[in-house]
């Protein structure tokens, strides 16, 4: 067992099953950041309010979950700002002060005209676009916590700790179980759990590596609701301690 700190993030919320997943996490004493799509929030605001009232944080995952590299800058800004307004309204309805503004790009695509490889450097045109989007996020008050104990070389080399948005160090890849093409051959809960035992720290599979904290991403998809609890239980069994980052 490797005891290490991790930050749980859940993308693509809120699904119709979000409350059920919130209850699982509450029962285990696990905090999380729910990165929510604006269009989903409009359909199910009460699910986000339910999470907020139980101590979870709602983050911005853009409005339509599109590749930012396929959009104009103006469209990128609207995807961010429209969802930002919706989240503000939801916190007001929950009668809870919004504790922080956190953002994650859909697919990890930062708008730099390169969405095939999240961790690959951008060409000059892409760098300019990316920085304009980063500046826009900053102008709205978005921040990334100081993850000083994330030690992976690939992550630091890509400058991911310097950006405003959150990336991730470990993708549970449970979404692959229902996709048409099963990434890494992951087509079942068993294979999701087997991947957690792999030891490739510089290849995005460092759950068993003791010298770095983790940002774990899973997803709020109705197709994987039945395997959400077993996934969480396996992460806990590995000795992972879930915390929220500093909000200062």
Question: Residue 47: which of 78, 8, 81, 86 has the closest Cα?
Answer: 86
* CB contact set of 3 (below 8 Å; sequence gap of 6+): 210, 239, 240, 241
Residue that is written with structure tokens 């993708």 in the block? 171
- Compute the C-alpha angle 197/223/52, nearest 5°: 85
In the CATH scheme, what architecture does the domain 4-242 have? Alpha-Beta Barrel (3.20)
| 144-180 residue pLDDT tens | 999 999 999 999 999 999 999 999 999 999 999 999 9
DSSP letter (8 states) at residue 212 = S
Question: Residue 109: which of 130, 80, 132 has the closest Cα?
Answer: 130
CA dist 244 and 25 (Å) reads: 13
Backbone angles phi, psi at 166, to 5 degrees: -90, 135
State both tokens at 241.
């301690």
Positions in the chain whose pLDDT score sits under 70: 115-119
At residue 116, the pLDDT reads 64
Domain ranges (residues) in the chain = 4-242
- % of the chain surpassing 90 pLDDT: 90
- What's the pTM? 0.96
- Residues 165, 110 contacting (CB under 8 angstroms): yes
Question: Residue 38: which of 65, 15, 17 has the closest Cα?
Answer: 65
Of all helices (H) and strands (E), which one includes residue 78? Answer: helix 73-94
At residue 117, the pLDDT reads 63
| 209-226 residue pLDDT tens | 999 999 999 999 999 999
CA dist 169 and 151 (Å) reads: 10
């Amino acid at each position: 067992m490797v005891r290490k700190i991790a930050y749980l993030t859940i993308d693509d919320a809120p699904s119709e099953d979000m409350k059920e997943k919130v209850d699982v996490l509450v029962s285990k004493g696990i905090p999380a950041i729910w990165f929510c799509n604006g269009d989903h929030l409009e359909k199910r605001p009460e699910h986000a309010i339910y999470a907020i009232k139980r101590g979870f944080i709602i983050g911005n995952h853009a409005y339509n979950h599109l590749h930012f590299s396929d959009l104009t800058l103006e469209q990128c800004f609207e995807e961010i700002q429209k969802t930002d307004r919706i989240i503000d309204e939801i916190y007001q309805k929950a009668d809870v002060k919004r504790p922080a503004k956190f953002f994650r790009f859909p697919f990890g695509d930062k708008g730099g005209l390169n969405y095939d490889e999240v961790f690959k450097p951008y060409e000059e045109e892409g760098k300019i676009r990316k920085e304009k989007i980063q500046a826009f996020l900053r102008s709205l008050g978005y921040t990334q916590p100081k993850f000083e104990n994330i030690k992976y070389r690939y992550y630091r080399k890509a400058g991911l700790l310097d950006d405003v948005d959150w990336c991730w160090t470990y993708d549970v890849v449970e979404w692959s179980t229902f996709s048409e093409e099963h990434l890494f051959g992951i087509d079942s809960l068993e294979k999701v759990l087997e991947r957690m035992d792999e030891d490739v720290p510089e290849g995005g599979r460092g759950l068993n590596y003791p010298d770095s904290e983790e940002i774990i991403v899973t997803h709020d998809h109705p197709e994987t609701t039945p395997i959400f609890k077993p996934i969480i239980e396996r992460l806990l069994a590995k000795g992972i301690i879930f915390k929220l980052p500093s909000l200062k």
